[in-house]
Chain A
Amino acid sequence: MSEKAKFWILLGLLLASIALLAYLNYSSERLFIG
């Protein structure tokens, strides 16, 4: 695999990781009941 292809895959994984962290943080702060 070329370095350029690896770069785009890793960039995608980084963005997915950040999105997962943001989602988990958001869901943990929705404590409100009802």
Chain B
Amino acid sequence: MSEPPRSKLRIANNLLFACIVVINLYIIAAPLWPQVSYWWQAHHSSRRSDLTQLIHQQLAKTSAKPQPNSLVIPAMMLNQPTLEGPESNWFNLLKQGIWRWPASSTPDQGGNTVFLAHRFSYTGPHGAFYYLNKLKPGDEIGVVWSGKTYTYKVASSTEVLPTDTSIENNTANAEITLFTCTPLWHPVNRLVVVAKLETNP
């Protein structure tokens, strides 16, 4: 078998080098891209105040259209429906968005309602809970549930190990627990935000 000419090998090497650079740049930059998007929305749009307004419109029932069960979090620029489904289907449900943990409570029943979503994955860079780390104590969260809007105030934001199932335990007081993966590149822990009920419609 004859060897390929040197010039062809050189072209192939250049192509391989370019592919390596592109893949590694994507590995480094993809987790950061939504930060740029957040910065842009924070400085060049009124989305955050629009979402705050939406929560209060829903509370006052002056919103033009009723929303499906969803989470409205102005500090995260998030207004997204929540999904229901069995634990056995968790992988597909999480690929689609925010999933309510089926063993947890619901806002109308009180107790601990648990929502989880991806923070980031390379096949879908902007997970629903990408900006969960932006939530600070006191931030407002609206949960639209069965046509009613419940508002919560963030009480704490912590990191736990993936084996710490205590975050899913039911509670005496009405609250919601939101959790996702952290840190971005190598998500070995869970970022957990707990918010206490403020307004019960």
| A interface list, Cβ under 8 A from B | 3-4, 6-7, 10-11, 13-14, 17-18, 20-21, 24-25, 27-34
Contact = CB atoms under 8 A, between A and B. Distances in A.
B17 A10 contact: yes
A3 B94 contact: no
Interface centre among A3, A11, A21 (most CB of B within 10 A): A3
Contact of A33 (B24, B119, B120, B190): B190
Interface stretch (B49-57, B133-141, B181-189): B181-189
A18 B23 CA distance: 7
B179 interface: yes
Nearest to B160: A33
Contacts of A4: 3, 9
Contacts of B117: 31
A20 B19 CA distance: 14
Contacts of A31: 94, 116-118, 180-181, 187, 190
B122 to A, nearest CB: 4
Contacts of A34: 162-163, 165, 168
A29 B23 contact: no
Contact of A7 (B12, B20, B26, B179): B12
B65 interface: no
B20 A14 contact: yes
Interface string B138-174: 0000000000000000000000001111011000000
B13 interface: yes
Contact of B121 (A6, A11, A17, A28): A28
30 contacts: A3-B9, A3-B10, A4-B3, A4-B9, A7-B9, A7-B12, A7-B16, A10-B17, A10-B20, A11-B16, A13-B20, A14-B19, A14-B20, A14-B23, A17-B24, A25-B123, A27-B187, A28-B187, A29-B121, A29-B123, A31-B117, A31-B118, A31-B180, A31-B187, A31-B190, A33-B164, A33-B165, A33-B167, A34-B163, A34-B168
